[in-house]
Amino acid sequence: AQKVTQAQTEISVVEKEDVTLDCVYETRDTTYYLFWYKQPPSGELVFLIRRNSFDEQNEISGRYSWNFQKSTSSFNFTITASQVVDSAVYFCALSGRRGGSEKLVFGKGTKLTVNP
Amino acid sequence: GAVVSQHPSWVICKSGTSVKIECRSLDFQATTMFWYRQFPKQSLMLMATSNEGSKATYEQGVEKDKFLINHASLTLSTLTVTSAHPEDSSFYICSARGQGASYEQYFGPGTRLTVT
């Protein structure tokens, strides 16, 4: 069975601090995809990144960066110099190819609050 | 591109009535659509997967007779909550996956259902 664990339920930081959101996953698939989504108070999910299991290169996009390590089954997300607008719930998700369903399994989410 | 809409964005209904939620892919053809449910402060849980022209596949524990899903065209899927009860109050989110090998799902903005 596939599982995503986001151990941090809530994180509170002060603006300009760096913050890392942890994500650990479990899957038996050799080919799988990992995702991060942002859900602001409005509720709409905002896609941030997709990474496939064969690509372990870290990625940086502006203030966002992702660290994918298959050896520890982790896909952590770091926000550098956080801003108040980063306040949201962040979900890590996993999709495999078993059965071709490609359904997403979400972690429980981490609520990030960035205080001014 | 890759815009998914949902209608209505929120709805209040009385217990015992039925409510229909529409999910549309506006600028692409969605061979597969997914319906998720999110209770307050919780994660997204997949309810069912629907492929155009065929019956939906429901996740374990989801009543197919209560949550009717119709994916009649490549741009429209509907979720009907029949005989709604207060415990069905939730945030319902659809996503759509286009044709091809991409595993990215495009999410709608969600529908907040309140059953009184």
A1: pLDDT strictly greater than 90: no
Residue B31 has a pLDDT of: 84
B41: pLDDT strictly greater than 90: no
B52/B74 Cα distance (integer angstroms) = 6
Mark which residues 48-107 of B lie under 8 Å from A by CB: 49, 57, 91, 93, 95, 97, 103-107
Higher pLDDT, B54 or B13: B13
Compute φ and ψ for A99, nearest 5 degrees. Answer: 75, 0
B76 Cβ contact partners less than 8 Å away, ≥ 6 residues apart:
B22, B23, B24, B25
* Mutation for A interface: B103, B107, B111, most A CBs within 10 A: B103
The 10 Å Cβ neighbour count of residue B116 is 10
Residue B105 has a pLDDT of: 81
* Mutation for A interface: B21, B44, B46, most A CBs within 10 A: B44
User: Rounded mean pLDDT of chain A?
Assistant: 91
What would you report as the CA-atom Rg of chain A, rounded to the nearest whole angstrom? Answer: 14
Residue A99 has a pLDDT of: 41
Tokens of residue B51, six digits: 């492929």
pLDDT digits (tens, 9 = 90+) for B75-114: 999 999 999 999 999 999 999 987 665 557 889 999 999 9
User: Rounded mean pLDDT of chain B?
Assistant: 91
pLDDT digits (tens, 9 = 90+) for A85-103: 999 999 999 987 644 457 8
| Residue A57 and residue A66 in contact, taking contact as beta carbons nearer than 8 Å | no
Confidence of residue B28 (pLDDT cuts 50, 70, 90): confident
